[in-house]
Amino acid sequence: MIEDDVYRASSQYRYWSYTKESLARIRQNTNDLASERVRAAFHRAHTAHPAHSSNSHNAVSAGDADADAMEIDVDVDVETLTVDEELKIVEWGCSKIMEMGEAMNPRIPSHIVATAIQYLRRFYLTNSPMTYHPKQIMTCALYLATKADHFYISLAKFVAELANLSEDDVKAPEFLLLQGLRFTLDVRHPMKGLAGGHIEMNVMADEGRLGDISKATGSAKRIGTAADHAKRLLATAAQMTDAYFLYTPSQIWLAAMMVADRELVQIYLHNKLSELSSNEATTSLQQKLMSTISACASLLESYRSPKDDASQRKEIKRIGKKLTVCQNPEKMDIVAVARAKAAEKRGGKDSDVGKALKKRKLERDMMDKDGDVFGPDLRNVPGSGED
C-alpha cells in the first residue's frame, strides 16, 4: 500500500524477515551449535589436555576431524539452555535496554531504544546467550544505536550514567555485534507509519470516508484513543515479541491499532482499498490483509510484561542461574578477548596478551563482587520506568 518497493529494498526485508518456521529453525540451529560448543569447551577444561587445541584447528578444513569434536562425551554433564530459555534471557536483555534508555540523561528517544532492542534480537538469531550473555551485549547495542541513529552521546557520559560499567565493557563487543548484525544497521520501525496513519484516518473521517466514524460521532477522539493505545503497544509488545521478524512495519502498526479498535481498522482498510480499485482481487486482498494483521494483533496481545507477572520473574531468575553454569567458559570475557587481540595486533608479544588478560581478571573479580547473576543493576533514577 504505502512503502512497497522501498521496503523491499531494505536490509530489514532482505535479511531479517522470516516465517514462524524459518525463525524457529534458525534459533534451533544456533542453539544446537552453541550447546555442542559449550560441551566441547567443558570437555576441554575437564580433561585439560592442551594438545586438544590442535584438533579444533584441523576441524575447519578436514571434515572428519569433526567427528573427534562431535563425540564429546556425556561424561561432562552440562545442562545447556533450550531455545525457549535463550529467548527469555534475550527478552530480559531487551527490557534492560528499555530501562537504560529511560534512565539516561538526556533520555534516549524511544525509536533509538527500539533500534537497540532489535539489534539485540537480531544478534541472538545467530549467537547464543550461552556464548555471549546479553548483559555483555546490551549496553553495546544501545550505544551503537545512538551512533547509527544520530543521537550523539559521548561514551564517557554514557558510561557515567550506568553503574559498574567501563568504557571497554561497552565498546569491546561492538565488532562482534556488527558481525552478528551482518553489518546492517537500519531498522524500519512502525511508529512513523502509525503517526501517518493517525493523520490519514482523521482526514478520511472528516471527509466522510470512514462510514459511521465521522466528525459527528466523535471520530477524532476515537481515533486518537486508539492511536495512543497503539503507540504504547509499539513501544512494548512490538519490541518484546517477534513482530519485526514476522511482519512489515505497516502490518505492525495496523495490528497495534486493531488491538485498540478492531472495527476502526476494518473500516479504514475497506475504504482505503476500495478507493484504490474495486474488483474481486481487492476483496481477496482485503481478506488476506485482515488475516495477516489479525495474526500480528494476536501476537501483540499475547505479550505480558514480566513486571506484572511474578511467575515470569521467577522463571527468568531460574534461567539466569542455569546460565551461570552453562556459559561457555572460553567466551565469557569479551573485553579480555578484545584486548588480547589488540595486543596481538600491536606486535603480538605474549607478555602483552598475558598482561591484558590478567588485568581484566582483576577487574572482573571486582565487578563480580557487587554484581548479581544479571550483572550490575541500573542506577535508580527517579521518574524512570513509567510513562
Partner 1 sequence: MASSNGVSPLMPRSPSNINANMSPSRAKSLAMRKSISKPQTAPTVQPQKPPPDFDMAEQVNEEISNKYVKGKKLGEGTYAIVYKGHVRSDPHRIVAIKKFKVDPSQQREGLNVDTIREIKYLQEISHPSIVALLDVFSSKDQNINMVIEYFPNGNLEELIRDKTVSYGAADVKAWMGMLCRAIYYCHSNFILHRDIKPNNLLIAADGEVKLADFGLARSFGDPRYQMTSAVITLWYRPPELLFGARQYGGAVDIWSIGMVFAELLIRRPYAAADVANQEVLATGGGTVAQLDKICEAVGTPSEENWPGVSKLRDYFELEKKIPVRDKPFYMQMFPTAGSVGVDLLMAMLKLDPRKRVTAQGALEHEWWTVDPRPTEKEHLPKQGGGASKMAAAEAAAPGAVTDENKFKGVAKKLDFGASRK
Q: List the interface residues with partner 1, window 21-40 (CB under 8 A).
A: 21-22, 25-26, 28-30, 32-34, 36-37, 40
Footprint on residues 199-238 left by partner 1 (CB under 8 A): none
3-state secondary structure of 372: strand
Interaction of residue 186 with partner 1, rule CB under 8 A: yes
CA torsion 211-217-218-222 (nearest 10°) is -60
Cβ proximity to partner 1: between 8 and 313 the closer is 8
The 357-386 contact track toward partner 1, x by CB under 8 A, reads ------------------------------
332-361: contacts with partner 1 (CB under 8 A): 338-339, 341-342, 345-346
Q: Which of 78, 165, 178, 367 binds partner 1 (CB under 8 A)?
A: 178
Closer residue to partner 1 (CB): 39 or 135: 39
DSSP letter for 328, please. Answer: -
**What's the sign of the alpha-carbon dihedral 120, 17, 87, 59?**
negative
Is 8 one of the binding residues for partner 1 (CB under 8 A)?
yes
Pick 117 or 316: Cβ nearer partner 1: 117
Near partner 1 by CB under 8 A, which window of 1-9, 91-99, 214-222, 259-267? 1-9
Instruction: Retrieve residue 39's grid coordinates.
Output: 560441551
Range 235-271 burial, b when 16+ CB lie within 10 A, else e: bbbbbbbbbbbbbbbbbbbbbbbbbbbeebbebbbbb
The Cα–Cα gap between 31 and 81 comes to 8
Instruction: Report how far residue 68's alpha carbon sits from residue 9's, in angstroms, rounded to the nearest whole number.
Output: 43
Q: Which of residues 122-161 bind partner 1 (CB under 8 A)?
A: 123, 125-128, 131, 143-144, 147-148, 150, 152, 154-155
Q: Which of 76, 78, 83, 185 binds partner 1 (CB under 8 A)?
A: 185
Among residues 16 and 374, whose Cβ is nearest to partner 1? 16
Choose between 321 and 358: whose C-beta lies nearer to partner 1: 358
- For partner 1, which stretch binds (CB under 8 A), given 58-66, 211-219, 234-242, 303-311? 58-66
Which residues touch 283 (CB under 8 Å, ≥6 apart)? none
**380 vs 119: CA distance, rounded Å:** 25
Residue 117 or 296 having the CB closest to partner 1: 296
> Exactly one of 138, 142, 213, 254 binds partner 1 (CB under 8 A); which one?
254
Is residue 148 within 8 Å of 177, Cβ to Cβ? Answer: no
Residue 89 in 3-state DSSP? helix
Residue in 45, 160, 220, 276 binding partner 1, rule: CB under 8 A: 276
57 binds partner 1 (CB under 8 A): yes
Least distance in angstroms from the C-beta of 215 to partner 1? 27
Cα dihedral sign, 244-249-253-258: negative
Distance of alpha carbon 228 from the chain centroid: 24
